[in-house]
């Protein structure tokens, strides 16, 4: 540009043109807002459909397809991570190993005595049942076929749910009880051909009819205040529940509300019993046998025996 032309422009009182937005920039802003708007709308529509559909319909099939695609990758990732997790668990457990060893030795002695008593009671029970020709509902564990499977993914910290690597193809159905060697874990709340969602006992929506093995006091096991803790609720004040009592599933006790779980599955041990003048029931805290933060392999209990239903 020639020098004199610049000075002429600077010296004059030419009005400045109104700044116009770059067309490409305004277009890009519009595009950006449109994209995010569409995505948010789509998400809200999906939430609505998913929420209304429950555990059926097209959305469930899409979820099932997604879970099937992810499954092999999740299994592979879990297998790769397992040695590291086991290694961490090994070193972490060394901290308490001595104290735990002496506690376990004491426990072994107690259990040895109880086992002897239990064996004779079991035999006596078997004989009496056969003499009475007793008609029973499915019993744990004799009337159940175990399907052993692995946990392949975990939900967020909000919900106590896991996904297992076995589904309806292996005979798992909605409400199938899930256990480990230690005790009750939860129940199946959603199932596809190759995977199933398990809602843990520690979830807010879980509730299991249970009883004190020593006193037969009935109650409902629900999630407690802390993460992974449980409480036995609705136990009458007259019931003589003590610390150290074992809590097991009660099975079906009311024909109006049949239990989803067979009776006799261990849940945990009573750690605290309290009661106040104002509360209607005892406040009982339970230490679950299952470590819900370190679940790895679980067993689905499948039965072909019909669960009796009230007329």
Partner 1 sequence: MPADIAKAAGLLFFVVVVQLSVMANVDILGGHPNLVLVTLVSVSLLRGAVFGAVAGFCVGLLADTGVFGTLGFTALLLTLAGYWTGRYGETTGRDRAHAPLLSIAVITVLYQISALVLRYMLGEPAPARHIFAALAPTVLLNLILTVPIYALTRRLLRPREWVTREVRLLG
Based on the shown chain and the rule CB under 8 A, indicate whether residue 190 belongs to the binding site for partner 1. Answer: yes
Of the residues 2, 24, 110, 157, which one makes contact with partner 1 according to CB under 8 A = 157
The CA distance from 198 to 175, in Å, is 9
Of the residues 137, 139, 143, 155, which one makes contact with partner 1 according to CB under 8 A = 155
Using CB under 8 A, which residues numbered 196 to 225 contact partner 1? 197, 203-205
Shortest CA distance to 297 belongs to which of 147, 177, 173? 147
Q: Which stretch binds partner 1 (CB under 8 A): 37-45, 102-110, 140-148, 275-283?
A: 37-45
The CA distance from 188 to 172, in Å, is 8
CA 259 remoteness from chain centre: 18
Closest approach of partner 1 to the CB of residue 247, in Å: 23
Shortest CA distance to 172 belongs to which of 203, 153, 195, 152? 195
Alpha helices in 12-161 (DSSP H): 23-53, 58-94, 97-132
Which of 54, 308 has the CB closer to partner 1?
54
Shortest CA distance to 62 belongs to which of 75, 73, 72, 49? 49
Of the residues 8, 40, 128, 142, which one makes contact with partner 1 according to CB under 8 A = 40
Of the residues 153, 170, 249, 259, which one makes contact with partner 1 according to CB under 8 A = 153
DSSP code of 151? Answer: E
Using CB under 8 A, which residues numbered 48 to 67 contact partner 1? 49-51, 59, 62-63, 65-67
Closest approach of partner 1 to the CB of residue 311, in Å: 34
CA distances from 47 to 54, 69, 146 (A): 11, 21, 35
Closest approach of partner 1 to the CB of residue 201, in Å: 14
Closest approach of partner 1 to the CB of residue 14, in Å: 33
Closest approach of partner 1 to the CB of residue 300, in Å: 16
Shortest CA distance to 50 belongs to which of 36, 35, 34, 64? 64
Environment class of residue 19 by beta-carbon count within 10 Å: exposed (0-12), middle (13-18) or buried (19+)?
A: exposed
Based on the shown chain and the rule CB under 8 A, indicate whether residue 81 belongs to the binding site for partner 1. Answer: yes
Binding site for partner 1 (CB under 8 A): 31-32, 35-36, 39-40, 42-47, 49-51, 59, 62-63, 65-67, 70, 73-75, 77-78, 81, 85, 152-159, 161, 163, 190, 197, 203-205, 227, 293, 295
């Amino acid at each position: 540009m020639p020098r004199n032309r610049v000075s002429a422009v600077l010296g004059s009182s030419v009005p400045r043109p109104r700044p116009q937005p770059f067309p490409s920039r305004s277009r890009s802003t519009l595009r950006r807002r449109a994209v995010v708007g569409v995505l948010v709308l789509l998400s809200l529509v999906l939430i609505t459909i998913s929420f209304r559909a429950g555990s059926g319909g097209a959305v469930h099939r899409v979820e099932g397809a997604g879970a099937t695609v992810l499954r092999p990758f999740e299994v592979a990732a879990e297998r790769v991570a397992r040695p590291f997790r086991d290694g961490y668990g090994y070193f972490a457990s060394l901290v308490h190993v001595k104290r735990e060893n002496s506690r376990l030795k004491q426990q072994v002695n107690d259990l040895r005595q109880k086992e002897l008593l239990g064996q004779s009671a079991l035999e006596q029970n078997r004989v009496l049942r056969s003499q009475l020709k007793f008609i029973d509902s499915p019993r744990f564990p004799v009337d159940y076929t175990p399907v052993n499977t692995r946990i392949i993914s975990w939900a967020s910290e909000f919900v106590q749910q896991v996904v297992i690597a076995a589904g309806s193809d292996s005979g798992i159905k909605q409400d199938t009880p899930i256990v480990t060697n230690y005790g009750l874990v939860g129940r199946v709340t959603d199932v596809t051909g190759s995977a199933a969602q398990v809602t843990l006992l520690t979830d807010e929506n879980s509730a299991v009819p249970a009883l004190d093995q020593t006193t037969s006091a009935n109650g409902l096991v629900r999630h407690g205040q802390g993460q992974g803790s449980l409480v036995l609720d609705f136990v009458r004040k007259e019931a003589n529940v003590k610390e150290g009592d074992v809590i097991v599933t009660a099975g079906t006790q009311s024909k109006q509300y049949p239990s989803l779980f067979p009776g006799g599955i261990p849940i945990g041990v009573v750690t605290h019993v309290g009661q106040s003048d104002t509360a209607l029931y005892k406040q009982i805290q339970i230490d679950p046998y299952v470590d819900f933060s370190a679940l790895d392999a679980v067993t689905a209990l499948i039965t072909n025996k019909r669960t009796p239903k009230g007329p």
